Structure 1
Amino acid sequence: MNHVPTAESVWDLVVVGGGPAGATAAHDAARQGLSVLLLDRDGRIKPCGGAIPPRLIRDFDIPESLLVAHARCARMISPADQKVDIPIENGFVGLVDREVFDEWLRVRAADAGAVRRRGLFRQIDSPENGPCTLQAEDPESGAPFTLRARSVIGADGARSAVAQQTVRGADRGKFVFAYHEIIQTPAPDSAGADVDPSRCDVYYRGSLSPDFYGWVFPHGPTMSVGTGSADKGFSLRSAVGRLRDAAGLADARTIRREGAPIPLKPLPRWDDGRHVVLAGDAAGVVAPASGEGIYYAMLGGRLAAEAAVAYVRSGDARALKQARKRFMREHGRVFWVLGVMQWFWYRSDRLRERFVSICRDKDVQQLTFDAYMNKRLVRRKPMAHLRIFAKDVAHLLGLARV
């Protein structure tokens, strides 16, 4: 049974932030026997399409009951309204409601032994020797309180306050600002609504985002309709209005609206060399081009927890560096490839048109979904990679027909 410190004693680990990264870190560390406090302000729901791949479901034991929809097809839609349907053969992508999913993860962490506490993180003192001290306050009363910990995981989102105060280079993050509206799913016979409860629609249009994409994802009784952009002068709310018009969803009832910054590049460092290691959005682990973040957040939380456990048990702060090293060893190449893809193909509607056209190719479809579903670049099909390379060059040079 885990030891629960008193107010005067020291926690083995304080996790700041209760999203997928923080809740996973708290769960894993508590199961390893550490005394864990999960500090979360509650009530914040991140704008997110809610897609989770089969590998996440397997690796993190996600029950079927949390899936509000099963996507078996992705539709890519070009600026000229070219539609390319990519079937998800022999599988599906799960869709979750983040409000329900995140809370389930927090409850699971508590069931594993982590202690939950509502609070707003304010400040951290991470000395060279001895435990660190965190200052926080109650979100309702504003009453301050203090926590002491041997280790800290900063999982408090993009532009993390923990990262800004402790980790060198945290100010180098690159962001897209995302905005979505949760709407009521229209009835199947609704006039003009082009929706399918088992299809995710992705719109590549400069009018919907000058540097990202728009999405319409099914959530069973509701849908997520959103977009994102790094252009601060671009009106995301107006773009979502245009997206709803294009999808025939203008008259659907709006349930809630959410917006937040989304990082698109892993930070150069995730630890302070003393007590702190970052995870999830705080570490910058949202995939470029796709914007996928839930799997990478949960994996980052798991790796941060393993690093924190190793540090607490050994006293060697070098263990904290292992979280980033292990993550980048497995996924750094994927992030680099996706970053190059976003930089090139999302620059103009002419290129977006060609990008959607490439998605008709069966080799591209198969390798794309192999990589997405299993979270790795598939190397066992060299001839398919060669064919894709040749086709990409033809599109880049304008030699291929759109």
Structure 2
Amino acid sequence: MAAIQDYDVAVIGGGPAGATAAATLARAGRSVLLLDRAGRIKPCGGAVPPRLIHDFDIPDHLLVARARGARIVSPRGRQVSMPIAGDGFVGMVDRDVFDEFLRARAASAGAVRLTGRHERIERAADGRTLVHYRAGEVRHTVAARAVIGADGAASAVARQMVPAAGAARRVFAYHEVIRAPAAGAAAAGWDGRRCDIYYDARVSPDFYAWIFPHGETASIGTGSAVKGFSLRRAVAALRDETGLGQAETIRAEGAPLPLKPLARWDDGVNVLLAGDAAGVVAPASGEGIYYAMLGGKLAGEAADAFCASGDARALREARRRFMAAHGMVFAVLGMMQDFWYASDRRRERFVAICGDADVQSITWQAYMEKALVRAKPAAHLRIFAKNIAHLTGLARA
């Protein structure tokens, strides 16, 4: 076993969470391995808020589009415009380019990149933790003092090492990346500066469908946890309905999305989860990139503290700090999804509420700042009253 390469931390998974964790650890002076599968791109609308761009120093060239607002479409075809005030925007990234940039940045900071498929973790008799992986037909082994599992919603690390975390609540997402229509093309209301979101059981019985601009391309997708619902047919129907059926399809991807943080992110010894593996995709919105990168940063800092102290309690800090900052946001979004997405009747009322100026202001502010907005009690009171009116049927959908 003397020939096995030793690292302070092995990070399994090279998406935004894993790459950010690896970069955080490398900058702290730790020896870190970043192990990632080749050729996998997660289905994702690619939306990133300004806070992510600022907090994680994302260069402008990675933003393929800047959406200046959204259009929300109800089951009956009601369209509500939600412009972003001032110079605010939603940044759009292509995940294949964006994720590779993050992995390359981690390598530049000192992380060792390897391509391979993680197979299992073993605790050896000499006290070392061994990570076994396969590259092509060849099996390899490395040793690490700590392991971060950032290997997605179906995390093999979580299944093997943190079974006490419980099963994640999930939807399955599917999208197609298409060639975007040229300016003035006859797609139904296509606007390369706007995100379109569809709340309609025909395209998602329990979530939503989207059309997001990506400059020269666009992402058209949907998600659902309903077994037997055809995501491919739903996307095809949405493309036909919006005049995008004949657009060139560049690629298609599908994957599960967790919608609730796991109850536990570490195994109490030396393994910690991050990103989708920890369940940090926001309910209702499905937003995951910012939360994955924040979770990766916190996991990297917790693993660094563990390496310094040898105290496994340091690993708990990643989840504690994340939930202290965003646990209430996830709880509120979860309640919103459970109630408003339950039927087309409720979706119709939800879209009507989205037309309210107070709702739009607070929604965009919360999105930009990644926090609940507490500083506008009068606006919150008005929103509460309007919600009650819709819930009781006093307001017209």
Please tell me the TM-score bracket, short chain as reference.
Answer: over 0.9
Separation in 2 of the partners of 1:14 and 1:232?
Answer: 36
SS state at 2:296 partner: helix
Equivalent residue, structure 1, for 2:45 = 49
Q: Name the TM-score, length of structure 2 as normaliser.
A: 0.98
Equivalent residue, structure 2, for 1:81 = 77
- Aligned residues of 2:181 and 2:187 also touching (Cα < 8 A): no
Displacement of 1:170 in angstroms is 3.7
- Aligned residues of 1:35 and 1:114 also touching (Cα < 8 A): yes
Displacement of 1:7 in angstroms is 4.7
Cα distance change, pair 345–128 in 1 and its aligned pair in 2 (3 A): farther
Runs of 4+ in 1 over 4 A off after TM superposition: 126-129
Q: Deviations over 1:220-267 (max 9, x none)?
A: 000000000001210000000111122211111111010000000100
Map 1:133-212 onto structure 2 (within 5 A). 133-138=130-135, 140=136, 142-212=137-207
CA RMSD, 1 decimal:
1.2
Q: 24, 34, 38: which one pairs with 2:34? A: 38
Separation in 2 of the partners of 1:42 and 1:332?
Answer: 33
Separation in 2 of the partners of 1:126 and 1:228?
Answer: 38
The alignment status of 1:14 with 2:4, answered yes or no, reads: no
Displacement of 1:59 in angstroms is 0.3
Q: Name the TM-score, length of structure 1 as normaliser.
A: 0.96
Equivalent residue, structure 1, for 2:288 = 293
Equivalent residue, structure 1, for 2:345 = 350
Equivalent residue, structure 1, for 2:354 = 359
- Aligned residues of 1:127 and 1:274 also touching (Cα < 8 A): no
- Aligned residues of 1:46 and 1:260 also touching (Cα < 8 A): yes
SS state at 2:263 partner: coil
- Aligned residues of 2:66 and 2:89 also touching (Cα < 8 A): yes
Separation in 2 of the partners of 1:235 and 1:378?
Answer: 37
Displacement of 1:131 in angstroms is 2.7
- Aligned residues of 2:4 and 2:141 also touching (Cα < 8 A): no
Gaps of 5+ in 2: none
SS state at 1:130 partner: coil
SS state at 1:46 partner: coil
Displacement of 1:129 in angstroms is 8.6
Q: 363, 367, 372: which one pairs with 1:368? A: 363
Equivalent residue, structure 2, for 1:69 = 65
The alignment status of 1:131 with 2:128, answered yes or no, reads: yes
Q: Deviations over 1:153-188 (max 9, x none)?
A: 000000100010011334421110000000000112
1:26 partner letter = A
Separation in 1 of the partners of 2:162 and 2:126?
Answer: 17
2:57 partner letter = D
Separation in 2 of the partners of 1:231 and 1:183?
Answer: 26
Give % identity: 65
Displacement of 1:126 in angstroms is 4.2
The alignment status of 1:59 with 2:62, answered yes or no, reads: no
Equivalent residue, structure 1, for 2:375 = 380
The alignment status of 1:319 with 2:314, answered yes or no, reads: yes
2:95 partner letter = R
Q: Which moved more, 1:87-96 or 1:44-53?
A: 87-96
Cα distance change, pair 328–38 in 1 and its aligned pair in 2 (3 A): same
Cα distance change, pair 64–258 in 1 and its aligned pair in 2 (3 A): same
Equivalent residue, structure 1, for 2:107 = 110
Matched pairs, number: 395
Separation in 2 of the partners of 1:289 and 1:85?
Answer: 19
Separation in 1 of the partners of 2:22 and 2:206?
Answer: 35
Q: 180, 204, 216: which one pairs with 1:221? A: 216
SS state at 2:212 partner: strand
